[in-house]
Amino acid sequence: MREEVYSGSVERIEVMGTDDEDDFPWIEEDEYKELYKQMMIARKFDEKAFSLQRRGEISTYAPHKGQEAAQIGAMFALEEDDWVVPSFRETAAFIARGAPLDKIFQRWMGDANGQKNLSELNTLPVAIPVGTQNLHTAGLGMAMEKKDDENAVIGFTGDGSTSEGDFHEALNFAGVYSGHSIFFVQNNQYAISMPREKQTKSETIAQKAIAYGITGIQVDGNDLLAVIKAMEEALEKARNGEPVLIEAVTYRLEDHTTSDDSTRYRDEEEVEEWKEKDPLRKFKEYLKEHDIWDDELEEFEEKAKEKVDEAAQKAIDADEPEFDELFDYVYDEMPELLKQEKEQLKKEVDQ
C-alpha cells in the first residue's frame, strides 16, 4: 500500500501591477514617500561607496544595488523592540533601521567603531561568513519565546547560504523551539559566480521551510509593497512563535564585491532584463500612477546625494582608531597575558 503522507505548498506574493493594487492605499501616504526616500538614499550610498572604493578610501565594498526593495521592505513593519541580524550586503537595511550613514561608511572604511552602539537599534554587527548568522537569528527567536516576549527577529541571508549546514540547523531549531524568527533570504540569483539553479535542486528556496515544519513564502523582491505584505504576515506569525522563511526573489545588479567581475559568469542580456525590473524605478512609476509623486520626491535625488556625501566626508574625517583599541575589547577584563603582549607590541611599533 502507498499513500501520500505529506504535501506542502508555497505561495508567491506580488502587489505592484496586479489586482492587489486594489489594496491601495494600505499604508499611509507619508510612508510611501518615506520608503522612496530610503530607497534613494540607499542607492546613492551604493554609488558613493563604489566611487570611494575606486579612490582607495574603502578597501572592498559589497554593493546592494537592485536589492533596495527587498531590504527596505523587510525593515518597514518592524518595531523598535524587534531584532535584526544582518549579513554583509544589508547596507540598505541598516539605513532603514536608522543607523547613522557616517557610521555605516566608517565600518566599510575598516573601522569597527562604525559598529558601536548597534544594541540601541537591536541590530547585530554584520556577519561576514556565509550562513552562520542564521543560528543567531534562531537563538534570538528562541530567547524571545522563552521570555514570553511578543517581538520578533529578522535574519538576513542569501541564496548561497541555503547550502550551508548552519542554515538548516537554524530552521530546525527555530521550528522545534517555536522561535520568533524570520529567515529572510535575498535570492539575488548568484553566490559570487554560482547561479541559483546550480546551488540547489529545489524549485524554490521558500519550499525548504516545509522540511522544518515552518511557513515558507516567496515574494517578488523587487516589489517593495509585496515584500512589506510578506513581512507583515510573517511578523504576525513570528511574534506568536511561528517562524517563517521568506524568499525574496531579486537580483544583484552589480558585482558580488568590488573585487569581483560578474561579466565572467553572467551575460549582459540577463543583467539588462533585470535592470528593467529595477526596484527603485518600479516604485517611482507606482507612485506616479497613484498620484503620490510630487516635486519634493522629484528633487530628493539631489538631496539624498548631498546627505550621503556629507556622511562619507564625516567618516573620512573621523579619527582613526587608536593602538589601544586593538586590545581593548577582546575581554571584559584584559588578562595579564594580553597586557604583557600589548606592552611589548607597543614598544615594537613605537606607540
Partner 1 sequence: MTEKMNIVEAVNQAIHDEMEADENVIAYGEDVGEDGGVFRATKGLQDEFGEDRVFSSPLAESGIAGTAIGMSLYGFRPVIEMQFSGFSYLSFYQIKEHASRMRIRSRGDYTVPLTMRAPYGGGISALEHHQESPETFFSHSQGLHVVIPSTPQDTYSLLRKSIQMDDPVVFLEPKKIYRAFKEDVDTEKEVDLEEARIVQEGQDVTLVAWGAMVPVAEDAADEIDADVEIIDLRTIYPADFDTIYESVEKTGRAMVLHEAPKSVGFGAEIAARIQENEILKMEAPVERVTAPDVPYPLYTLEDFYMPNKDRAVKGLERVLNF
Does 319 bind partner 1 (CB under 8 A)? Our answer is no
Does 109 bind partner 1 (CB under 8 A)? Our answer is no
DSSP assigned state of 183: E
Of 62, 130, 170, 308, which lies in the binding site for partner 1, with binding defined by CB under 8 A? 170
Residue 256 bears catalytic tag: yes
Which has the closest alpha carbon to 169: 137, 207, 204, 216? 137
The residue (of 51 and 340) whose beta carbon lies closer to partner 1 is 340
Sheet holding 153-158, edge to edge: 11-13, 215-220, 244-249, 181-187, 153-158, 83-85
Does 144 bind partner 1 (CB under 8 A)? Our answer is yes
Does 28 bind partner 1 (CB under 8 A)? Our answer is no
Annotated catalytic residue, options 89, 107, 136, 252: 252
Compose the 239-258 pattern: x for residues touching partner 1 by CB under 8 A, - for all others.
--------------------
CB 149 within 8 A of CB 186: no
Of 99, 118, 219, 230, which lies in the binding site for partner 1, with binding defined by CB under 8 A? 118
Whole-Å CA distances, 222 to 28, 95, 181, 247: 20, 18, 23, 12
Residue 265 bears catalytic tag: yes
Does 135 bind partner 1 (CB under 8 A)? Our answer is yes
Which cell is 72 given?
527596505
**Burial class of residue 201, CB neighbours in 10 A (0-12, 13-18, 19+):** exposed
Annotated catalytic residue, options 54, 265, 290, 329: 265
The residue (of 151 and 187) whose beta carbon lies closer to partner 1 is 151
Does 137 bind partner 1 (CB under 8 A)? Our answer is yes
| Spatial separation of the C-alpha atoms in residues 39 and 96, rounded to whole Å | 9
Tell me the closest approach of the beta carbon of residue 329 to partner 1, in angstroms.
4
Does 140 bind partner 1 (CB under 8 A)? Our answer is yes
Which cell is 66 given?
537592485
Size of the site for partner 1 (CB under 8 A): 46
| Spatial separation of the C-alpha atoms in residues 270 and 255, rounded to whole Å | 14
CB 181 within 8 A of CB 240: no
- Angle at Cα 80 formed by Cα 75 and Cα 81, nearest 5°? 110
Compose the 57-96 pattern: x for residues touching partner 1 by CB under 8 A, - for all others.
--------------------------x-x-----------
Does 98 bind partner 1 (CB under 8 A)? Our answer is no
Does 322 bind partner 1 (CB under 8 A)? Our answer is no
Of 38, 53, 106, 132, which lies in the binding site for partner 1, with binding defined by CB under 8 A? 132
CB 134 within 8 A of CB 184: no
Does 335 bind partner 1 (CB under 8 A)? Our answer is yes
* Part of the chain binding partner 1 (CB under 8 A), chosen from 129-137, 190-198, 237-245, 302-310: 129-137
Does 124 bind partner 1 (CB under 8 A)? Our answer is yes
* DSSP character string of 212-235: GTSEEEEEETT-HHHHHHHHHHHH
Residue 103: phi, psi to the nearest 5? -70, -40
- The residues carrying an active-site annotation are 252, 256, 265
Q: Which residues contribute to the site for partner 1 (CB under 8 A)?
A: 83, 85, 112-113, 115-119, 124-125, 127, 129, 132-144, 146-147, 153, 165-166, 169-170, 172-173, 176, 325, 328-332, 335-338
